[in-house]
Structure formats: C-alpha cells, structure tokens
Amino acid sequence: MLSRRSILQSTAAIGAVAAFSGARAQAQRTQVTFWYGLGQPLGGILEQVVAGFNASQNQYQVNPVFRGQYPETMVAAIAAFRAGNAPHIVQMFEVGTATMMAARGAVMPVHQLATDTGVAIDPAAYLPGVRGYYSAPDGKLMSMPFNSSTSILYYNKETFRKAGLNPDQPPKTWREVREAAQKIKSANAAPIPYATAWPTWVHYENFSAIHNVPLATKVNGMAGMDAELRINSPLHVRHLQMLMDMQKDGTFKYGGRDNAGEAVFVSGEAAIITTSSGYRARALRETPGAPASVGFGYLPYHDDAVQAPLNSIIGGASLWVMTAPNRTKEEYKAVAEFFRHVSRPEIDSKWSQDTGYVPITLAGAERLKESKFWQENPGTDIPTLQLTRGTATDNSLGLRLGNMPQIRVIIQEEMERAFQGQQTAEQASNAMVTRGNQVLREFERANRS
Amino acid sequence: MRKRVIFNDKALPYLLLLPQVAITLIFFFWPAAQAVYFSTQIQDAFGLRSQFVWFENFGAILSDPNYLSSIRVTVVFSVSVTVLAIAPALLLSVMADKQIRGATTYKTLLIWPYAVAPAIAAVLWLFIFHPSVGLLGRFLVAIGVPWDYALNDAQALLLVVLASAWKQISYNFLFFLAGLQSIPRSVLEAAAIDGASQTRRFWTIVFPLLSPTTFFLLVVNLVYAFFDTFGTIHALTRGGPGTSTTTLIYRVYVDGRDNLNLGTSSAQSVVLMLFVIALTMIQFRYIERRVHY
C-alpha cells in the first residue's frame, strides 16, 4: 500500500520533472520582456494577445509584465534603462511620444528594427491618423501603434427621454449640447447635465484638431522641438468661457483631472459626457439600464467656427523597442515578429471588438466593417469614422510636445482656477501658454544634442 | 568610576562600526550627494545628455511663483497639521490616563489609526468626504452646502489637513500618555490637597512637566507634515485644485517622477535638506538646554 508520504513524494517528483522540461522548452525560446500599463480588464485581454503569439510559434516567448499605470510604466522603463536592463518592449502613452523620440540611443525606431531584422513592417498598413502620430517628420515609423482610442460623446437615453429630448439624437454641436443641458436642468432629469473626462485631451488637443486650429506652432510640435503653444486663440478662450458659463449656471460640472470625471456618467448622475472611446466597455457594464440607456455620438463642435469638423486625434499608447547593452539580434527578431503578429488584421479587429479601442490597421477596420460588428453594435463605428473623416491638416495630424504630461497638468490647474472664479478665461489661457512654453523650453534645452 | 570596555585590537571597534557606517553612507550620504550633484545639472529623462549649469536650477525654482506659493501652502499645511495633531492627542491622553473602566480598550483603539497606511487612510477619507460617493460629502451636498473639494481650494486644503492630522494623533497620544505616566503622583496629590482644581493642576503642573514631550512632538510633527504626508495628498487631491494643496515635498515628487525633471527636482530636495538640517540643529540645541531641569 502506498503511504501518503510516498504519494506526496512522487507527485513532487513529477512536478519537478514537468517544471524542468518546461524550463528547458522555455530556455530554447528567445525570451523577450514586455512591460505594459493597462489595468484590468484591458490588461487581461492584452495578456491573451501575447499568449496567442506565444502559442502561434515555438521560437520566441514574450513575457508580459504589468508595471502600473502608464506614468509608472514610463518611469520604471526609464529607471531600468539607466540601470542598463531596460525591457525589450514598453507600452508608452501617446503623450510620452516626444520624450521617447528624443531619447535616441535608448530606443530603437521601429523602421530600423524592420530593416535590421528583415521582418517587413509596412507603415502604409496603418490608419493615417495613427501612423502620423508615431512617425518621425520624414514619415518613418518610430514606435509600434497599438492601443489607440479617440474621444467621443456618450449620453444617457433615459435622461434624454425624461427631459423631453429625442433619445436617438445625440447633440452634434456645442450649441445643441448647451440647449440639451439647459432642458435637462430645467426638467431636473439629472443632477449633472454635462460632464467631461480628460479635460485637456477633449477640450484642447481634440478640440483644436477638429476645429482646424493649431494647438502649437511647428505642426503641433511634430516639425521641431521649438514649438510654442497657441491655446490662447480667440476660439480656445471662447470655448473655455463657455465651459465656465456652463459651470456657473449648473449645466456642467468639472469632475477632476484626467479620467476622474468618468465616475459620474456610469453612476447615472451625468446625462452627457465626453471621454475616451475606450470607456465604452465600462459604460455598457456599469450604467444603470445599460446597454439600452447608453447612446454614442461624435465629439461636439462649434458650428459657427467650422463648417465640417475635421478628424479627431488619437490617444492611447504605442509599443517602443528599448535598447540595452548585450541585447542580441535574435531578441530584436522576436520583438519584430511580435509586432507583426499584433498588426495582423484578425488580431487587430478582435482587439478592437474586445476593448473599444479603434482598429489600427486599414485591413482590421475593413474586417470589422465586413463582419457586421459595427452594424450590430451601434456606436462602435463612431471612433474610427471620426478619426478618418475629412482631409487631415497640419492641425489635425497629432501632436508631439515635450513633457506633454506636465503641460496637461498645467492646463488642468489653470482650468480649475478659472472654474473657481479666480481668473478670467483669457487670463487662464494666457497662463497656460506662458507656463506651458516654459516647460517646452526646458525640454528643448535638456534634449538638445 | 565608570566601567569602560577596552579593545586591545585597534581594528575591532572600527570593524564593529562598519555595518552601520556603510548603511549610512550608502542609503543616506550617497543619495544626498547625488541630489546635490543633480541639482547642478540639466538632464534629459534618460540621462543621455547632461549639462552643468551651476545654480541655475535653484534660480529657476526660486523665481517660479508656483514654487513660492507651494512654500506658503506648506507653512499653512504644516502648522495646521501640527496643531490639529497635538491638541486632540493631549486631550485624549489626559482622558485615557484617568481611572476609567476599559481604559486599555480605549488606548488600543486610539493607537490603531497609526497602523493604517497613508494611502489607505486617504481612501477612507475619500469615502467619507467625496461629494458624490462619500457618506458625509453626499450629506453636505444634500443639505445645500456647496461641498466640492475638487474645485474649492480651501475645502481641499481642509480635507488634506484633517486626514494628515488624524493619522498622527495616535502617535502623539502614545508619547503624551507615556509622559503623563512619568509625572510623579505625589506632586499631583499634594496640589490636590492644597485645593488646586483639576484645570489648575493641569496647567501649572502637568503641562509644564510635559513640555519636553510637547516640544519633541512639535518637531516630529512638523517633520511629518513636511515629508510624510505625500501619500495622503497624492491619494486625495493630487495637489489640486490648481496648486492649492501642492506642498514642497509633493512638488519634488511631481517634478522628479511625473515631469522627469531631475535637475529642478533635486534642487528642491536640496532646499528641503537645508531646511531639515536647520530644524534638527534647533531641536538639538533646545533639547540640550532643556533636558536637565
């Protein structure tokens, strides 16, 4: 009779053998480390994409590691580079692009990776708005486009009905947003008629793009580090004034920096919100009465400032290849193969379906159209259509400003002061430009070669 | 005569000191020296390019109106936190020192908050005071108080002060309790027999005898408010609205970690370091003088 102990011993032995052979199988594969900055549930979906790559071949193994939110991931990657052991791939938010691009020697541009490893990565496969954001001025791809979103409008159909508004007609212009908000307020249909998340991304970066006004000189910084902010233009001041007026008359409520404002829509308090298309999954899961109660619309515009709004710009993140001493050619090859994998139309379109991010390749977008996913899921096509409408100008290609996260904080600080009545819209806008330009000059100075 | 330990070997004492000295050098002096070095540099985030700029970083922060305003915020914040952490602690410890039923339970409960991590304490306060999810916050809004610390400088500052002070009360309570217990009973009893009221006994006997403890706590609490409240501020307000809750230490973090600007961040650290050195010197001189009485 087997004693309990010997059973335990033999299971342990089997486990050890299995672990050993597993380790050997892993050792034969080229190992690549991938740091990412997406929380759940997106992080889990990302890990599935990586697992799919690992299972699709037996030469390379990508090991995904969650390193906290985007800013933490960025800081961790920089610290690791300084210590000489940067990860092979790091996911970096779009506003970190200028910092990464300036770090020649720390990153390997994707076009160079493609040339060095012989793995074809064709920039023409990606949506122009996505490609432009991550390309050098000469059109060469610097980082691998990955999760991209844009900002859109969400509205609560229940509240619209209660306020006597047409629940199938989202407000298209700011005039209509104000009218709807006014009605919602007087009908007492919701405590917060209009709210916003990502105050700078929505009301400055995307606002400038769709209205075809510059955010900064030098093609919003894409043509050179000596760019200067232009966000104190009459249109920008007027828009901030409108938000301040709405805040005052109770039709708008500032909900905090970055994505802090998102909470009030899913709680049912806010009737309209402008935020990321990546918010879709959460809105459909948490809003009372969802999915029937959640409606989608394009980002509003001022119809007296522009006849037809231009394309909006992306947010989200891209994948950067980092260098380190004694990194082998085989490791770079593994990275390139992984990049080719995530750009495959079927992977790309599935990623978009699962997460609410936009498809980044033209073929992926085509696939979604053909699969009827867009028709069956109303609103899912808006981000892609909004990103690709019209002909992009210098004002709507994207932006590349050094230390952009810091500039975003400055803009938000000045907005907060304005909303409290401590300064006028014009004073706030001028303060944003003065302080922001100072940051840009510091960046330019620190990164001058 | 005092008993003295004599080492025959000259090397042994140094060897025994070595671990402590090594730790101090590696974890205190080396980073401090690095901060001083970086404060004279302008460097990109990755450390690929560096320029030596003398004291330009110091000039930059001292001429920045937002830095000067964060000094103001820090002073208001630290003084408020210190007062609000010491006064209630003193009151509570005097109460807990009395002969009451279940004194040990009270003491344990009062010491408890000290074990809560700053970030968790902040989340706790968030759940109480957030205007749309907090218990008390919702109540305030419901009764018509325009409570919204995301967009009101004074309310935001009040909130971080309260949360930070609350965390520190336990620590102060513990020291005051120990201080109270070392006050000789005979003195208090003598005063009681002489007919001194309880209030009078407190102000003429207990409070003066507690003064070394109070002074020690004053310094410790100021240092706490200066340096250890980062977690609370980060979790509650992130320095906003505007820059109304951005204290000096929070700005060091934001400039160094979020803005990846090591030069100005290090310059700010050096300024803070000088401040701590000054504070420590004052403390030593004062305590040296007051320790025997």
pLDDT tens-digit profile of B171-230? 999 999 999 988 888 988 899 899 888 889 888 888 888 988 888 898 889 889 988 888
Considering the domain boundaries, does residue B127 fall inside one? Answer: yes
pLDDT tens-digit profile of B94-128? 888 887 788 888 888 888 888 888 888 888 898 99
Inter-chain residue contact B150 with A405, CB threshold 8 Å: no
Which residues between 379 and 408 in chain A have a beta carbon less than 8 angstroms from any beta carbon of chain B?
A: 403, 405-406
Q: List the single residue in A81, A105, A420 with the smallest CB-CB distance to B151.
A: A420
Residue percentage of chain A with pLDDT more than 90: 67
pLDDT of residue B59: 92
- Amino acid identity of residue A275, one-letter, is T
Q: List the single residue in A71, A416, A435 with the smallest CB-CB distance to B241.
A: A416
Q: List the single residue in A71, A416, A420 with the smallest CB-CB distance to B258.
A: A71
Considering the domain boundaries, does residue B41 fall inside one? Answer: no
Considering the domain boundaries, does residue B22 fall inside one? Answer: no
Q: What domain count does chain B have?
A: 1
In chain A, ranges of CATH 3.40.190.10 domains? 23-149+314-375, 151-312+402-446
**Does the pLDDT value for residue A87 go beyond 50?**
yes
Closest-CA distance of chain B to residue A238, Å: 21
Task: For tokens 């990109």, name the residue.
Answer: B44
**Residue B278's pLDDT band (boundaries 50, 70, 90)?**
confident
The alpha carbon of B239 is separated from its chain's Cα centroid by a whole number of angstroms, namely 17
Query: Which one is predicted more confidently, A52 or B231?
Result: A52
Q: How far apart are CA A244 and CA A255, in angstroms?
A: 13
Considering the domain boundaries, does residue B21 fall inside one? Answer: no
CATH number at residue B105: 1.10.3720.10
Residue percentage of chain B with pLDDT more than 70: 96
Inter-chain residue contact A81 with B46, CB threshold 8 Å: yes
Quick one: tokens of B121?
């304490």
At A107 the three-state DSSP class reads: strand
Of the candidates A205, A167, A410, the one whose C-alpha atom is nearest the C-alpha of residue A294 is A167
At A316 the three-state DSSP class reads: strand
**Residue A1's pLDDT band (boundaries 50, 70, 90)?**
very low
Considering the domain boundaries, does residue B40 fall inside one? Answer: no
pLDDT of residue A19: 47
Q: Does the beta carbon of A267 lie under 8 angstroms from any beta carbon of chain B?
A: yes
**Does the pLDDT value for residue B292 go beyond 70?**
no
**Domain at A151-312+402-446, CATH class:** alpha beta
Mean pLDDT of the B7-35 span: 90
Considering the domain boundaries, does residue B146 fall inside one? Answer: yes
Mean pLDDT of the A91-101 span: 91
Best residue in A243, A265, A417 to probe B by mutation, most B CBs within 10 Å? Answer: A417
Quick one: tokens of A207?
């606002």
pLDDT of residue B276: 84
Q: What is the ipTM of this complex?
A: 0.82
pLDDT of residue A47: 94
**Domain at A23-149+314-375, CATH class:** alpha beta
Q: Are A73 and A85 in contact (CB under 8 A)?
A: no
Do you find a cis peptide bond into B241, omega within 30 degrees of 0? yes
Neighbours of B69 (CB within 10 A): 14
Of the candidates B256, B249, B246, the one whose C-alpha atom is nearest the C-alpha of residue B273 is B249
Considering the domain boundaries, does residue B234 fall inside one? Answer: yes
Considering the domain boundaries, does residue B46 fall inside one? Answer: no
Quick one: tokens of A284?
């459909």
Which residues between 126 and 145 in chain A have a beta carbon less than 8 angstroms from any beta carbon of chain B?
A: none
**Residue B261, domain extent:** 52-290
**Residue A294's pLDDT band (boundaries 50, 70, 90)?**
very high
